[in-house]
Structure 1
Amino acid sequence: MQRRAFLLTLLLLFVLVLTACSQPGGDAAVPAVTVAPAAESTTAAYESDDFLPLVLPVYEDLENHLGEEITVKGFVFLRDSYGDNEFMVTRMLVECCFDDAAPTGFVTQWETDTLPEVDSWVEVTGIIDQREATDSVTGMVFIQPYLIASSVTSIEPYDSPYVFFETE
């Protein structure tokens, strides 16, 4: 339980640094160093609406999820630092209260001329990969999960963008 809380805290800090804590004009281009996915992909054994049971294990143990095909639903979030073909499929993670809600999900590569609109809801199917990223504030280099989309479909918005971390 302590390990899960620690990993969730790291995930939240990672997301906050990437999405909420950078200074205006401080976004540096994130180098997209893509590692080839495993030769044979497996399908995740999760319900597509089970956002946290899908996302958290990938952040906790990325190595064991590389090459896995997943389907995740959320809203579209963009940052200036994302490439032309990138967006984040996102839900707002609440650990304690709404004031601490942070965007959580996967930066997604979608090779198309048109990305979905910001704040629109999508279902994304793709392969989990990883890339090297640099924090625009601290300069720290880290490996982040990265979703290479094979399909992006518009869906009806959920009643709430929030997902809740519940302690056992």
Structure 2
Amino acid sequence: MQKRQFTLTMLLLLTLLLAACSQSTGNTASPAVTVAPAAETTTAAYEADDFLPLVLPVYEDLEGHLGEEITVKGFVFQRDSYGENEFMVTRMLVECCFDDAAPTGFVTRWETDVLPEVDSWVEVTGIIDQREITDSVTGMVFIQPYLIASSVEPIEPYDSPYVFFETE
């Protein structure tokens, strides 16, 4: 459990540094998702459970997932610091309260002339890669998971952009 908590803390730190959470994503949806027991197959339960089980293991063991193909669903987040043909497929991770929610997911490279619109919801299939980035404020160098997309498809928006990290 300590390793998972450490990994989550590092994920949040990296996400905050990369996404500068002080800037709004423009997404103002209210938190409508409640985490249902795993046995339920409701849409809300799926929406809450289909993201973190894909994202967290990659951040916990990036080397073990390099080259793996995954499909992840979230909304499109964009920063000026992203390169051409890049966006983040993301959900807002809540650890303790909504004010601390941070965009979490994968910066994605999509080789096309047209990127999906910011705040639109997409299903991205791609290969997990990594890249080295330098934080412009601290100068610290990080290895970041990076998704090289083979397909980006629009999907209906989920009821909520939020996912909830539950500590045991």
Same fold (TM over 0.5): yes
- In 2, the alpha carbon distance for the partners of 1:84 and 1:64 equals 28
**2:92 matched to which residue of 1?**
92
Deviation at 1:22, TM superposition (A): 8.5
In the alignment, which residue of structure 2 is the partner of 1:58? 58
* TM-score of the pair, normalised by structure 2: 0.83
Q: Indicate the larger mover: 47-56 or 63-72.
A: 47-56
**Distance in 2 between residues matched to 1:102 and 1:115, nearest whole Å:** 22
1-side partners of 2:103 and 2:122: how far apart? 15
Per-residue Cα deviation, 1:65-104 (whole angstroms, up to 9, x for no partner): 0000000000000000111110000000000110110000
Structure 1 residue 20: Cα displacement? 1.3
Once the two structures are aligned, what percentage of the paired residues are identical? 88
- Structure 2: how far apart are the matches of 1:141 and 1:22? 21
| Long gaps (5+) in structure 2 | 24-45
Corresponding residue of 2:163: 163
Q: Is the 8 A contact 2:122 2:155 kept in 1?
A: yes
- Superposition TM-score, scaled by structure 1 size: 0.83
How far apart, CA to CA, are the structure 1 residues paired with 2:54 and 2:141?
25
Separation in 2 of the partners of 1:22 and 1:59? Answer: 23
Partner of 1:35: none
Give the Cα separation in 1 of the matches to 2:75 and 2:162.
11
Aligned residues between the structures:
145
- Counting only pairs closer than 5 Å after superposition, residues 8-87 of structure 1 correspond to structure 2 as 8-20=8-20, 50-87=50-87
Q: Write the deviation string for residues 115-155 of structure 1: whole angstroms up to 9, x where unpaired.
A: 00000000000000001111111111111000000000000
Residue equivalent to 1:133: 133
Residues 22 and 136 in structure 1, CA contact (< 8 A), matched pair in contact too: no
**Cα distance, 1:21 vs structure 2:** 6.1
Q: Which amino acid aligns with 1:116?
A: P
SS across alignment from 2:138: coil
Q: Residue 57 of structure 2: SS of its match in structure 1?
A: helix
Cα distance, 1:155–1:21 mapped onto 2, change above 3 Å: closer
Letter in 2 for 1:81: S
Contact kept, 8 Å, 1:22 with 1:137, in 2: the verdict is no
